[in-house]
């Protein structure tokens, strides 16, 4: 299932009230994780919002976002083919674990039931399909969130401090698990974080932002 997607940021620059906040130029290859580090308020989430297509209009942004050779910065969020992973797993509370995964699948895909079952088994939750997501542990929720994202067949992935709400013991395990899966899927990924251990676990290039 390995794919070869590329994400490039060409002279991306974001300002707030005419004051420059973030500027970045980068290329991310298939299976590569680029980490952008910066303290709170340095514009990390704002950068991801621009790339994903939901930047607040308070900001002024310029620069190209090129996914597989195509400029996507003018497209609406849902047509960009970018997957997002946040601090909160954001599972749908009114859907079962299986239906949360099913939601990730492309609408016209066949064998939905079989694919959901395979996905549940892959994340070690084979018997949890009928569960209410609220009954899962933090680590289980995080695994469902990543699997739902992978099932949606994104062409690039953005991660916004996705481990910060997990307890210390689980955090390292989840870092390793998430980055191994992103690499295996061949997806270009951009991680933003203020945590050096996140950056270390990502194991790729590192760019530091300042405030």
Q: In the complex, which residues of this chain contact ligand ADP (CB under 6 A)?
A: 16, 21, 38, 40-46, 56, 58
DSSP 8-class letter at 113: H
| 70 strand-pairing partners | 67
Choose the contact partner of 41 out of ligand ADP, Mg ion, none; CB within 5 to 8 A by kind. ligand ADP
**Cβ 201 to ligand ADP shortest distance, Å:** 19
Smaller CB separation from ligand ADP, 32 or 160: 160
* Residue 100 vs 193, nearer CB to ligand ADP: 193
Residue 210 contact, options ligand ADP, Mg ion, none, Cβ 5-8 Å cut-off depending on partner type: none
Quickly list H helices, the chain.
44-52, 97-104, 112-122, 138-151, 168-184, 196-202
| Contact criterion met (CB below 8 Å) for 198 and 44 | no
SS3 letters for 23-69?
Answer: EEEEEECCCCEEEEECCCCCCHHHHHHHHHCCCCCCEEEEEEEEECC
The contacts of residue 150 (CB under 8 Å, 6+ apart) are 83, 104, 181, 185
Binding range to Mg ion, per CB under 5 A, among 45-53, 97-105, 138-146, 198-206: 45-53
Closer CB to ligand ADP, residue 30 or residue 63? 63
Taking the complex as a whole, the smallest distance from the CB of residue 52 to ligand ADP amounts, in Å, to 13
- How near is the Cβ of 166 to Mg ion at its closest, in Å? 16
Measure the CA–CA gap between 144 and 166, rounded to whole angstroms.
Answer: 14
Q: Which does 73 bind (CB under 5 to 8 A by kind): Mg ion, ligand ADP, none?
A: none
Residues pairing with 8 in the sheet: 27, 66
- 45 is a site residue for Mg ion (CB under 5 A): yes
- Give the nearer residue to ligand ADP in terms of CB position, either 43 or 188: 43
Quick one: 41 or 124, whose CB is closer to ligand ADP? 41
Under the criterion CB under 5 A, does residue 164 sit at the interface with Mg ion? no
Distance CA 133, CA 137 (A): 9
């Amino acid at each position: 299932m390995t794919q070869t997607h590329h994400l490039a940021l060409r002279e991306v620059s974001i300002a707030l009230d005419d004051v420059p906040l973030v500027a970045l130029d980068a290329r991310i290859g298939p299976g590569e994780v680029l980490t952008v580090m910066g303290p709170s308020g340095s514009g990390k989430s704002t950068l991801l919002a621009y790339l994903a297509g939901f930047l607040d209009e308070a900001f002024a942004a310029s620069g190209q976002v090129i996914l597989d050779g195509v400029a996507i910065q003018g497209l609406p969020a849902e047509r960009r083919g970018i997957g997002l992973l946040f601090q909160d797993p954001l599972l749908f509370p009114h859907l079962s674990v299986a239906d949360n995964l099913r939601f990730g699948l492309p609408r016209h895909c066949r064998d939905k039931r079989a694919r959901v079952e395979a996905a549940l088994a892959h994340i070690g939750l084979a018997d949890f399909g009928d569960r209410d997501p609220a009954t899962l542990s933090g680590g289980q929720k995080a695994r469902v969130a990543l699997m739902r994202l992978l099932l949606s067949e994104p062409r690039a992935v953005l991660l916004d401090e996705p481990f910060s709400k997990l307890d210390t013991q689980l955090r390292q395990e989840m870092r390793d698990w998430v980055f191994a899966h992103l690499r295996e899927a061949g997806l270009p990924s951009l991680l933003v974080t203020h945590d050096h251990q996140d950056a270390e676990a990502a194991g790729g290039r590192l760019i530091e932002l300042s405030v």
